Amino acid sequence: MALNWLYADLMPTPDFILDLRRRIGTELLWLSGVTGVVLDEGGQVLLGRRSDNGLWALPSGILEPGEEPAMGLLREITEETAIIAEALALTHVSVGPPTSYPNGDRTQFLDLTFWCRPLSGEAQVADEESTEVGWFALGDLPAPLAPSSAERLAATLRYRHDPGAGASFAGRAETGD
């Protein structure tokens, strides 16, 4: 990932997005994102405090073109937290609302959330996307927690409780008259 800075939110923008933006300008860009709910054996979850908005959040990122979702997520977890993890299951699929940035760019994300377990490493700030990183007991999560992280964590905990129910996702087509 190149360390180009497109948005005023202090997050590095991958080269493929910069290339697309040169072609499409500020039009709505549909992106694939991944989120990891990394739970250790003691039931603690891995979180980072985002440098762009100060919210605590699960490790997440944008997939590169052609990148396998689970592998892209594991890359993101290591890049952000120095934790090497293993993806265990897809637990949640969601679409976020369209977002507009100060420079006029618009994006919307499809997010794939995975339940993960740590294999090795010590949690630490490993890139510029976080100001703090740590493990937190599920009953004592830091505030403010990003609403999307709270939703994805809850979905993953439901999955862990009942894997037979499968991943959660929104939407059955409404039938109207």
Does position 172 have pLDDT exceeding 90, yes or no?
no
pLDDT band (50, 70, 90) for residue 175: very low
Average pLDDT over residues 39-66: 96
Q: Global pTM?
A: 0.88
Does position 11 have pLDDT exceeding 90, yes or no?
no
Predicted local confidence at residue 13, as pLDDT: 86
Distances (CA, A) of 162 to 101, 138, 139, 140: 38, 18, 20, 23
Q: Which domains, from first to last, does the chain contain? A: 28-166 (3.90.79.10)
Q: How does the average pLDDT of the chain come out, rounded?
A: 90
